A and B are shown apart, each in its own frame.
Chain A
Amino acid sequence: MAILEVNNLTKNFGSTKVLKGISFSLEEGKVLSIIGSSGSGKTTLLRCINGLETATTGKIAVNDKVVFDSNITDKNELKELKKNQQNIGLVFQQFNLFPQYTALGNVTLAMKLAAKKRPDYKHNKKAILEEIDATAKKFLDKVGLSDKLNNYPCELSGGQQQRVSIARALAMNPQILFFDEPTSALDPELTGEILKTIRQLAEDNMTMVIVTHEMNFAKDVSDEVIFMDDGVIAEHGSPEDVLVNPKNPRTQAFLNTYEK
């Protein structure tokens, strides 16, 4: 069963067409890498699926639930649909950690705010908050940061910050986790720890969509690869097909720039 279905998605910024009809689907537990040159629309695609940007036309479904459909114009209905977008996590290129919270605080904040709406919050406050802390610690442990729980972002290396942001996204229990160039803001020697973390998640069968410029990583972590070019999917297939034996000359040209 497809956990993510994107159907004929387009996005215009004013008169510039950035996405020109994107369709693909992704099975549960699979890892999809999206590659493509700068400006081809990778980030825009991610943002549209996440609801940070509203697509111009098309349809998106997560876990068989529609989260966006340009045929629906009723505002309230659209709002309802957006709730299903909660199932998508996003890891940003620039981490976007909250500077005034510790690593632990970053992971727990959204959960603690959400917990306030629980009917039993007043009675069980202490137990609920402890449970949230325990959950957060579990995820920070998973990304190898159990010794940095009480450090503020400014006290962490770039790689550690990015791992906190991965833990923060995981703690929301997303059905799909998106990464937008998670290593691009890092010094080269720090990319390894992030890639290792993502590999572990892949082993745990986390469904992931990763925009990346790390071709070797894409090759061995992904089940599928999409090459985007100027707002369209120019090639879509297994890592072998797209990265080793590309058929589209544009893909070949793009990969050649990485050979050197």
Chain B
Amino acid sequence: MFWTVTESLLKGFGSTLELFALTLIFALPLGLIISFGSMSKIKPINWFVRTFVWIIRGTPLMLQLIIIFYVPGFVGMWAREQQTSNFIIEWLATWKVIDRFAAALISFVINYACYFSEIYRGGIESISKGQYEACHVLGMSKSQAFFHVVLLQVVKRIIPPMSNEIITLVKDTSLARIISVYEIIWSGESFIKSDGLLWPLFYTGVFFLIACGLLTIIFNRIEKKLSYFSV
């Protein structure tokens, strides 16, 4: 039985890891773009991005998951029922119910990109103006200053909050089951219904502990690597 359960949980955990990894791959760079938007000197962009980030951070991820999963299908249905037609309605009419996993991924990417963007912004804004000015008087360009001087200092500053956020993401992936994305807790829970077994549920916790433990080790390594200088 143990092996059956393990195999099943591994399958569920595969889906969990896939969601986790893909979210990181897309949300890490997207967050940087959003942070530039929220620091933009162009007022409308700045205002729009900050409002968007505020909404995403101020509402539950679970709500965002449900909305992103259901809204496209409803919009498409509504558009197809319209009598009048123009190109917008025609385009909306092509909207269909999206794939569960894709909906979960989109929600996670948007949500986490917004959280990451705030961390990036905090890190970038914490670098003293003096660093840029020193670069300027030494004849470096703005991009040289950013990539050769500022970036590594930002990385060092944001590693601790980033590691917290990323470890939270591992656990947050389990929320995807609200729109019926198969993941590890689901597969653990299914043994209660099918075999009356409770222990597989505890066993799922072990997977999370191992994943979070590994991440903690990785981030500690990075922090140690960057400990040769202080910012």
Contacts and interface: CB of A to CB of B under 8 A. Distances in A.
A186 interface: no
Interface of B: 128, 130-131, 133-140, 144, 148-149, 152-153, 156, 228-231
14 contacts: A52-B133, A52-B136, A52-B137, A92-B130, A92-B133, A96-B130, A96-B133, A97-B134, A100-B156, A100-B228, A109-B140, A109-B149, A110-B140, A168-B138
A96 B136 CA distance: 12
Contacts of B137: 50, 52, 88-90, 169
For the complex of A and B, 4 pairs with smallest distance between CB atoms = A110-B138, A96-B134, A96-B130, A154-B230
A94 B130 contact: yes
Contacts of B135: 110
Chain A interface size, as a band, is: 20 to 34
Main secondary structure of the interface of B (DSSP, over half): helix
B144 A100 contact: no
Contact of B149 (A88, A89, A98): A98
Given A96-B131, A98-B149, A100-B152, A152 B229 contact: yes
Interface of A: 50-52, 86, 88-90, 92, 94, 96-100, 109-110, 113-114, 152-154, 165, 168-169, 172
Contacts of A100: 149, 152-153, 156, 228-229, 231
A169 B137 CA distance: 9
* Centre residue among A97, A113, A165 by max chain B CB count within 10 A: A113
A101 to B, nearest CB: 8
A99 B144 contact: no
Contacts of B153: 99-100
A165 B134 CA distance: 9
Contact of A153 (B128, B139, B229): B229
Nearest to A90: B137
A83 B128 CA distance: 24
Contacts of A90: 137
